[in-house]
Amino acid sequence: MDEQTHPFESGLGWTVAFEPPGRQFIGRAALEAIRERGSAHKLVGLVLDERAVLRSHQRVIAPGAGEGAVTSGTFSPTLARSIGLARVPADTADAVQVEVRDRLLPARVVRPPFVRHGRVLVQL
């Protein structure tokens, strides 16, 4: 998250303390407006099925929704695939393409976490 993004599109909306209602903080009015209308972007997990590694700032193309970017990525030894997190348009479907070294590779949108306590939580 940086100055260009807000907690709701980074999966951190739960960290904003809107209660009690009279509690004031810098940016409250702006965050309440975003919470009411909904965020234009969301944070999702990605699983890449082809041989490549997801890295931050790679372009994500969501057909019919627009573009986003990988925020972080790596190779998962447990899943034997490349995984990552990406900020994408809110209406992104289950399949996207990621630009890796000037090639568009298919990736699946999944809900993190990928693995918990050694158990795989995403569909492979």
Q: Write out the two tokens for 50.
A: 């082809």
State residue 35 phi and psi, 5-degree precision.
-60, -40
Q: What is the pTM of this model?
A: 0.86
Q: What is the mean pLDDT of the chain?
A: 93
Tokens 């994500």 locate to 60
Is the distance from CB of 107 to CB of 59 less than 8 angstroms?
Answer: no
Is the distance from CB of 54 to CB of 83 less than 8 angstroms?
Answer: yes
Domains of the chain: 7-37 (no CATH), 41-114 (2.40.30.110)
Residues shown for the chain: 124
**Residue range 32-54, pLDDT digits in tens:** 999 999 989 999 999 998 999 99
**Residue range 81-110, pLDDT digits in tens:** 999 999 999 999 999 999 999 999 999 999
Q: Write out the two tokens for 117.
A: 């306590």
